[in-house]
């Protein structure tokens, strides 16, 4: 059975989520380690993101990771390049090599819609990554995910665990902005116009559309996971579904608005 994970930028814990990862946004004023410390009081499996941005040497990275190592609940470090990283920063491959494998599981990003991604992921695995997080899976591109994982497993003989991303849509305007700024994250924008139309109808219509879109993406991710995991030859195994955007939500404005907790949203999407 696949477990569920989610982001915890505000150290919020949701019943039904077994693990969390703490993001490291470029424009965030909140320290990821501060969030992790608060989250550790209620969660025992935390993934902390470490970005390449701003680090020129291994010494700087080791100093940053030493602070993370002091929080025993941080089990995994997700190594990513990070927004606004420059050519002068260390590479993600070097970052992966630097991470203490005795203390942390090492995770990396798998952008399955990117060209030659299986080869890039294999290089990350060779550097020490054993877990891969994907960007959100959409019904229109789940077949590309399966293709990349098969190539990674069968051609490159890479053994790893996979966390498949599922997107819980924000408001249509926010989704449109995110798709423009991060096209590798929202790789299918066809839902945005439909979501905007439902938002104009009523708060209930907006809520229903959000749940429906997330359920469709979850179904595609689960189907892809089944295809990958059923193969005896596969060395890649999907072990987790990661929910991007899970949190307390407000649909609409004024007296007619609908407030939905993260727990309610999770139950609506998963049917539990």
3-state secondary structure 17-47: CCEEEECCCCCCCCCHHHHHHHHCCCCCCEE
Question: How much is the pLDDT for 244?
Answer: 95
Model confidence, pTM: 0.94
Structural domain boundaries in the chain? 3-270
Model confidence band, residue 24 (pLDDT cutoffs 50, 70, 90):
confident
d(CA 110, CA 134): 5
The string of pLDDT tens digits covering residues 172-207 is 999 999 999 999 999 999 999 999 999 999 999 999
Return the bridge partners of 161, or none.
131, 237
The CATH number of domain 3-270 is 1.20.1340.10: no
28 pLDDT band (50/70/90 cuts)?
Answer: low
Q: Which residues, in sequence order, are CB contacts of 225 under 8 Å at separation 6+?
A: 2, 162, 164, 238, 241
What is the pLDDT of the chain when averaged over all its residues? Answer: 92
């Amino acid at each position: 059975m696949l477990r569920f994970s989610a982001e915890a930028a505000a150290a919020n814990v949701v019943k039904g989520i077994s693990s969390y990862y703490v993001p490291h946004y470029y424009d965030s004023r909140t320290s990821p380690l501060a969030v992790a410390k608060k989250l550790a009081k209620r969660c025992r499996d935390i993934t902390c993101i470490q970005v390449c941005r701003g680090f020129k040497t291994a010494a700087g990275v080791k100093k940053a990771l030493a602070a993370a190592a002091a929080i025993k609940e941080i089990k995994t470090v997700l190594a990513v390049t990070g927004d606004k990283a420059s050519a002068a920063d260390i590479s993600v491959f070097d970052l992966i090599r630097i991470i203490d494998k005795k203390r942390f599981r090492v995770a990396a990003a798998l952008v399955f819609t990117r060209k030659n991604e299986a080869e890039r992921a294999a290089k990350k695995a060779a550097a020490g990554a054993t877990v891969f997080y994907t960007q959100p899976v959409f019904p229109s591109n789940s077949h590309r995910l399966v293709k990349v994982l098969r190539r990674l497993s069968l051609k490159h003989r890479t053994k790893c665990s996979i966390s498949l991303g599922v997107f819980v849509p924000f408001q249509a305007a926010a989704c449109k902005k995110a798709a423009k700024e991060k096209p590798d994250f929202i790789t299918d924008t066809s839902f945005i116009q439909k979501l905007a139309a439902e938002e104009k109808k009523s708060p209930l219509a907006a809520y229903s559309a959000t749940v429906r879109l997330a359920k469709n993406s979850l179904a595609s991710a689960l189907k892809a996971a089944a295809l990958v995991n059923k193969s005896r030859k596969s060395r890649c195994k999907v072990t987790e579904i990661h929910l991007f955007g899970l949190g307390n939500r407000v649909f609409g404005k004024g007296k007619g608005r609908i407030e939905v907790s993260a727990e309610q949203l999770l139950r609506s999407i998963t049917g539990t």
